[in-house]
Structure 1
């Protein structure tokens, strides 16, 4: 079955239908492939989202960094002096987003009014009236903690919009991992390259292990984020709709994180 490319007006209507409102603060996860053809491409989708949110709304996205040093320096892994000297420095005003989190994020990061947080790996990009507030003072010692951009999105209170993206991409649930009261949570340490007072510096970052919060998760490849998100949807929480060909969900961020904390504590607390 053939579909005509979506135009901006159709996208605006479908975003309204799913429950997105002017003035919302929303974190967006996007699969362009799931949505299908858009006239004008991803820029049209971004324009439609910003039109719906209006002058008092804010759009946020988890973008990370294409040249993340996480894997190369994780938990004591070392780089040679030459590798350290050649590794690109993280500059939030120009850093390319990580390709693994969606092509749409490139358009978010190129927007002339975008603000980005100073954490290379947990980097958040935001556009709108609260963008500067959301992205300020992003500590290297807790990328996903209550004081991080994720914590501010939840506290706002904000919403999370899944435009065809899979359940495992719900980044806001990293906050649930950070605050859930369960024993034995794993922490990881790694180094990040920054420009500080005009000098190249490597600084240590530290956070709960978002890829394997407990040892038993690492042993069997368990994805707690995807499991929490799946159970949340099965309880018919949030609003469901379609944008283009994609099945989409709009969630209340506070309710989602509260559910995630309870889910983790019931099973592992």
Structure 2
């Protein structure tokens, strides 16, 4: 959607203060630990754009809480996995040998929109060290959440997702569906229903840049929307609007546990 269409659909501009009020009305409180997924276009036109959206989220949870956003870099992966678009097979070895290693400061977050890329650059934001599936956090538990992100089983029980789960974080979906809910990947590990396979990515180790292979599971988001709808039927999900965006707020722990049980039944 173009910015012109976003303006046409907006009756008034969002501001930092108006978005903060919307977040509070939805049920977000000072001290909350919050894992967020946002569609900027769904919000409506916002004064200050993504910078203002991030500030409103920070103002809502305050420094007593924690704001957590995925800052993945999927292009730092094995070129044999690339589908959209694929690259010629004869390029694969060159790509593996020359791709710059993951760097917390330099490596951009891609394919997730402008908000995660801006968030990782904000002052006092910590980014976990994972070449493909980094997660960033700001606030009281930011250092704890992003520390010691294990390379293998990248979104499993030694990842920032598990730490957010342990903190009893809330999940906030702003203008997006359950198919974007990264925490359901944690459920895939807990359910132990996915096939294992080997990923690859460039990392820095002992002062050198190397291509490292590691064990992981095959993610499958196909059922995430259905899982979310089934979760809504039996659990507390708060519905409301943030700006113009239909939004949902719910317990990470409850939803991850529910999804793991759901996957085990399939």
- Same fold flag (TM > 0.5): yes
- How do 1:103-114 and structure 2 match up within 5 A? 103-114=114-125
- How do 1:251-266 and structure 2 match up within 5 A? 251-266=250-265
**Residues 73 and 191 in structure 1, CA contact (< 8 A), matched pair in contact too:** no
**TM-score using structure 2 length:** 0.88
**Residues 72 and 78 in structure 1, CA contact (< 8 A), matched pair in contact too:** no
> What is the root-mean-square deviation in Å for CA atoms of aligned residues?
1.9
Q: Does 1:20 align with 2:28?
A: yes
Aligned length: 252
Seen in structure 2, the aligned counterparts of structure 1 residues 211 and 28 have a Cα distance that, compared at 3 Å, is same
User: Match for residue 204 of structure 1?
Assistant: 213
User: Match for residue 123 of structure 1?
Assistant: 134
User: Match for residue 4 of structure 2?
Assistant: none
User: Match for residue 86 of structure 2?
Assistant: none
User: Match for residue 92 of structure 1?
Assistant: 104
- How do 1:165-180 and structure 2 match up within 5 A? 165-180=176-191
Rounded Cα–Cα distance in structure 2 between residues aligned with 1:175 and 1:89: 25
**TM-score using structure 1 length:** 0.87
Query: C-alpha offsets along residues 31-56 of structure 1, whole Å, 9 cap, x if unaligned?
Result: 00111100111100101110111121
**Residues 23 and 56 in structure 1, CA contact (< 8 A), matched pair in contact too:** yes
User: What displacement does 1:164 show?
Assistant: 0.7
Query: C-alpha offsets along residues 76-112 of structure 1, whole Å, 9 cap, x if unaligned?
Result: x89654322321211022210022x222112211102
User: Match for residue 191 of structure 1?
Assistant: 200
- How do 1:1-269 and structure 2 match up within 5 A? 2-65=10-73, 67-72=75-80, 80-99=92-111, 101-182=112-193, 185-211=194-220, 223-235=222-234, 237-267=236-266
User: What displacement does 1:66 show?
Assistant: 5.3
Unaligned runs of 5+ in 2: 1-8, 83-88
Unaligned runs of 5+ in 1: 213-222
**Residues 97 and 211 in structure 2, CA contact (< 8 A), matched pair in contact too:** no
Rounded Cα–Cα distance in structure 2 between residues aligned with 1:41 and 1:164: 15
